[in-house]
Amino acid sequence: MGRRAGSAQQEGIFSDMVAATGSTEREGWSSRSAFILAAIGAAVGLGNVWRFPTLAGENGGGAFVLFYVACVFLLGLPLVISEIFLGRTGQDDAVGSIRKVAERSGASKNWSAFGVMGVVAAFLIVSFYSVVAGWVLYYVGVMGADFASAVLSGDPLRGALVGQSQEAIQGRMGDLFGNPGLLLAMHFAFMGVTLFIVARGIGSGIETAATILMPMFFVLLVGITIYGAFVGNMGDAVAFLFTPDWSKLDPPAMNTALGQALFSLSLGVAGLITYGSYIKGPAGLGPTSVTIAFADTGVALLAGLMIFPIVFAVGLDPAAGPTLVFQTLPFAFQTMPAGALIGLLFFLLILVAAVTSSISLLEVPTAWGIGEMGWSRLTSSLVFGGGAFLVGIACLLGYNVWSEVRPLGFWSLFAEKDILDTVDDFTGKIMLPLGAFFTAVFVGWRADRKLVQEMTGLSGFWLSTWRFLIAWLCPLAVGTILITGLFPQVLGS
Ligand code: PFF
């Protein structure tokens, strides 16, 4: 497994044996629904349950949310179809897949350069993603210990962290950030799990993980949302999330919404090219992509409906920022019935979402190592998982030992950013929109039209609509966020 199909070109008995056992065949999903589940697992992650509620809260709710949903369907969805098309057609790692589509379309092989950028971006993202997921792991530990003590004290349905002051609860995050050893241990554990799953391969690793974890995720999500509807303030949450105050939707907020739509759908970093390349049979890419986009957006909205009723019930600030989930919610769980249990389940839910996304991120460079360098899957996942672990260490040291370090401090856009934020912003504001831009231009203008039609399975009205969106709207809109993201003065902010 894991060797390139091309390596079976040697002659003689060995290649016959190989052909007979099929051992050089590239890995693949066992079914279409396995692919859909894995792709939803990739899309649904920290972006949905941590970043989306944070950004919706910071950007005033309703108008931001509606604009975000429009971005998902007008720009994100056509790009999802395009990325899966590239992988499905190329049947190779991201770079190889783009190269093959370029060859079959009579276009320059140099187009595959944007695949290389995607591979680098995915590698960088997984490095800090694992650090943030490490915080979640820490909170699973904190809430787990608290729930255990609730059970031992004979009151398993008590609130979370009872008897602790708001300062003490919120101070935990600062304690964690000030402790490089603890941050490192969490990061190590999370990256270890990610690496383990990716090293096992598509079938017994990624597909199995998605099949077990995604149903678990949905049960937890729906369960906690129903709980929030009973004990929280659902009315205020719905009003906050869905009543638009358009005056709050300024250009920077639009920029943020579009960037978030790309991140949440895993676009621009070749994630769906890579996953799409493991599809073997025919795949109607329209319905498949619509399912992925709906599921991802549904989860983001449900996450909002899970978190904000609890935030409002306790009178906390929805605009708390990135600490909303880590500092605000544990305190909110204190006064809620069964808060200790729900708090634990809540962080478990985020952890599960993070795992199914981080494996998709690590798979991108791992597939590249297998496809382009001829490495075994184990070697490739160790090289990139290990490398991302090291980059992640720099990110976590940025909260304590290297807190003064500003890696791109010479650049006004990044002047204030610590190491993790620099990697996050550089990938999110530059690499990801660039990747999406080139995907749109390549698929919209250079890929062979017949090939596109045949491999996407689109026709008639849907084909022309998709063509218009991918060739015109996506490059224009994504190009605009790229420019305004890079030069905020264009927006006068
Ligand atoms: N979509 C993931 C999230 O929302 O957390 C993040 C992500 C995963 C981005 C995989 C890119 C990717 F290839």
Ligand 1 atom 11: residue of nearest CA: 266
- Tell me the per-residue pLDDT of 85-95, one tens digit each, with 9 for 90 and over: 999 999 999 99
**Ligand 1 atom nearest to 50, measured from its CA:** 5
Is the CB of 42 inside a 6 Å radius of any atom of ligand 1?
A: yes
**pLDDT above 50 (res 53):** yes
Q: How far is the CA of 139 from the centre of ligand 1 (A)?
A: 21
pLDDT value at position 194?
98
pLDDT value at position 5?
41
Q: How far is the CA of 385 from the centre of ligand 1 (A)?
A: 16
- Tell me the per-residue pLDDT of 461-482, one tens digit each, with 9 for 90 and over: 999 999 999 999 999 999 988 8
Ligand 1 atom 7: residue of nearest CA: 266
Question: Ligand 1, from 132, 262, 264, 368: best to mutate by most atoms within 8 Å of Cβ?
Answer: 264
Range scoring the smallest mean pLDDT among 3-17, 274-288, 348-362, 379-393: 3-17
Rounded distance, CA 258 to CA 261, Å? 5
- Average pLDDT for 420-425: 92
* Range ranked top by mean pLDDT from 3-7, 160-164, 481-485: 160-164
Q: How far is the CA of 463 from the centre of ligand 1 (A)?
A: 27
Q: How confident is residue 485, by pLDDT bands cut at 50, 70 and 90?
A: confident
pLDDT value at position 162?
93
- Average pLDDT for 356-382: 98
Question: Ligand 1, from 130, 197, 266: best to mutate by most atoms within 8 Å of Cβ?
Answer: 266
- Average pLDDT for 377-402: 97
> Quick one: what percent of the chain has pLDDT higher than 90?
82
Question: Ligand 1, from 360, 384, 423: best to mutate by most atoms within 8 Å of Cβ?
Answer: 360
pTM metric for this prediction = 0.92
Is the CB of 358 inside a 6 Å radius of any atom of ligand 1?
A: no
**Ligand 1 atom nearest to 274, measured from its CA:** 13
Tokens of 445: 């203008």
- Average pLDDT for 132-155: 97
**pLDDT above 80 (res 1):** no
Is the CB of 50 inside a 6 Å radius of any atom of ligand 1?
A: no
Is the CB of 52 inside a 6 Å radius of any atom of ligand 1?
A: no
Is the CB of 485 inside a 6 Å radius of any atom of ligand 1?
A: no
The tokens 């500092």 sit on which residue? 327
For each of the domains in the chain, give its residue range(s) and CATH number, in order of start: 27-491 (1.20.1740)
Tokens of 471: 């060739």
pLDDT value at position 491?
60
Is the CB of 365 inside a 6 Å radius of any atom of ligand 1?
A: no
Is the CB of 206 inside a 6 Å radius of any atom of ligand 1?
A: no
**pLDDT above 90 (res 450):** yes
- Average pLDDT for 164-178: 93
Is the CB of 343 inside a 6 Å radius of any atom of ligand 1?
A: no
Q: How far is the CA of 71 from the centre of ligand 1 (A)?
A: 16
Mean pLDDT of all residues belonging to the chain:
92
pLDDT value at position 4?
42
Is the CB of 266 inside a 6 Å radius of any atom of ligand 1?
A: yes
Is the CB of 304 inside a 6 Å radius of any atom of ligand 1?
A: no
- Average pLDDT for 78-101: 98
Is the CB of 260 inside a 6 Å radius of any atom of ligand 1?
A: no
Is the CB of 268 inside a 6 Å radius of any atom of ligand 1?
A: no
Ligand 1 atom 12: residue of nearest CA: 266
Higher pLDDT pick, 135 / 253: 135
Tokens of 11: 């002659």
